[in-house]
Copies of this chain bind each other. A is one copy, B any other.
Amino acid sequence: MFGVTILGNNSALPAYDRHPTAQIVTIGDQLILIDCGEGTQTQLAKYKIRRSKINHILISHLHGDHYFGLPGLITSMGLLGRQNDLHLYAPAALENIIQLQLKAGSTDLPFQLHFHALENFENILIDDPKFSVKLFPVEHRIPCWGFIIKEKRMPRKINKEAVIAYHIPAAYYEALQKGEDYTNKEGTVIANELLTNPNKPAKSYAYCADTRYTPENAIVCEGASLLYHETTYLQNCEHKALVRYHSTTIQAATFAAKAQVKKLIIGHFSSKYEQLEEFLKETQPIFPNTDLAIEGVTYLV
């Protein structure tokens, strides 16, 4: 499974039972938490997501609605006896804040917390056997990063009948799965395409964090299976979006179209909007395959 579960879809202030930003990305047996607004640990419990399965946490920037839930989540993990290492990827200034909070509470975590400052990475943030996480800068009032989580290319599938017919030794199957051709004792090259079939294409999720409309970033997110782009405001607040370093519906949809992604989800709604239908109405004419990021819903990548 590769999917994104929304835990919070509201901007700065919690309102209308909508919460500040947090998302869980499930990729295989791994859970990655992206941003961690206040109350994230309660949202995880509400949607029965096991926090013990979270090994990586990515924090896009240090506005409170994206990380004020983190100290509580970390200390709760400790109280619950977590032992697995936890990797936290965030702007450098967060390390000192967390350490001061742990020190003030005389808290010794029973697990290793590894801090990775986003400033130290240029492209690849995580290189796991099954997926990679890349980061890219977005344009916000303070330093802020987006993330792209991508499956590793799936191995090609062995064509069982073909490998028997061509007398390929089983020891060579792994090389075939990687796409290599086979050369037999007689020196004849048998093309990989004759021996294997392509697997499903690798999918990717692009998370654009809090950002002004930045068309230059469309190339970074190009072809993503799923794109999350913030829409703090409706179209008629374009000027407000500009000065507050946020985006509108139209801008998110235009970005998605430019990046030629398969699907778009939108969120980070301003607390001034109680109803959200208008967000879809403005976005879909430009990018039809758009959904609202609704809390508790999992969107498949």
Contact across chains for A38 and B100 when beta carbons are under 8 A apart: no
A75-119 at interface with B (beta carbon < 8 Å): 75-76, 79-80, 91, 93-94, 96-97, 100-101, 103-107
Q: How many angstroms between the C-alpha atoms of A72 and B12 in the bound complex?
A: 9
Q: How many angstroms between the C-alpha atoms of A45 and B15 in the bound complex?
A: 9
Contact across chains for B141 and A63 when beta carbons are under 8 A apart: no
- Flag A123-160 by CB within 8 Å of B: 1 or 0 each: 00000000000000000011000000000000000000
A29-53 at interface with B (beta carbon < 8 Å): 38-39, 41-42, 45
8 Å CB contact of A14 from B41, B63, B96, B106: B41
A65 proximity list for chain B (CB < 8 A) = 72
8 Å CB contact of A100 from B39, B91, B96, B141: B96
A94 proximity list for chain B (CB < 8 A) = 104
A296 within 8 Å of B (CB atoms): no
A163 within 8 Å of B (CB atoms): no
Which of chain B's residues has its CB closest to A70's CB?
B68
A179 within 8 Å of B (CB atoms): no
Contact across chains for B64 and A42 when beta carbons are under 8 A apart: no
Q: Known contacts being A104-B93, A104-B97, is A79 close to B42, with CB within 8 Å?
A: no
Contact across chains for A105 and B64 when beta carbons are under 8 A apart: yes
A223 within 8 Å of B (CB atoms): no
- Flag A1-43 by CB within 8 Å of B: 1 or 0 each: 0000000000011110000000000000000000000110110
The number of chain A residues with a CB under 8 A from chain B is 35
A79 proximity list for chain B (CB < 8 A) = 12-13
A267 within 8 Å of B (CB atoms): no
Contact across chains for B80 and A75 when beta carbons are under 8 A apart: no
8 Å CB contact of A39 from B12, B39, B62: B39
Which of chain B's residues has its CB closest to A271's CB?
B79
Which of chain B's residues has its CB closest to A40's CB?
B38
Contact across chains for A38 and B104 when beta carbons are under 8 A apart: no
Q: How many angstroms between the C-alpha atoms of A106 and B141 in the bound complex?
A: 8
8 Å CB contact of A64 from B75, B96, B97: B75
Contact across chains for B69 and A38 when beta carbons are under 8 A apart: yes
Contact across chains for A100 and B106 when beta carbons are under 8 A apart: no
Q: How many angstroms between the C-alpha atoms of A93 and B79 in the bound complex?
A: 22
Q: Known contacts being A39-B42, A41-B14, A41-B38, is A64 close to B106, with CB within 8 Å?
A: no
Q: A38-B39, A105-B142 known; 13 other A-B pairs, CB under 8 Å?
A: A12-B79, A13-B79, A14-B41, A15-B45, A38-B38, A38-B42, A38-B69, A65-B72, A68-B68, A68-B72, A93-B104, A97-B97, A106-B142
**What are 18 pairs between A and B in contact, CB < 8 Å?**
A12-B76, A12-B79, A38-B39, A38-B42, A38-B68, A38-B69, A38-B72, A39-B42, A64-B71, A68-B68, A68-B71, A93-B103, A93-B104, A96-B100, A97-B100, A100-B100, A105-B142, A106-B142
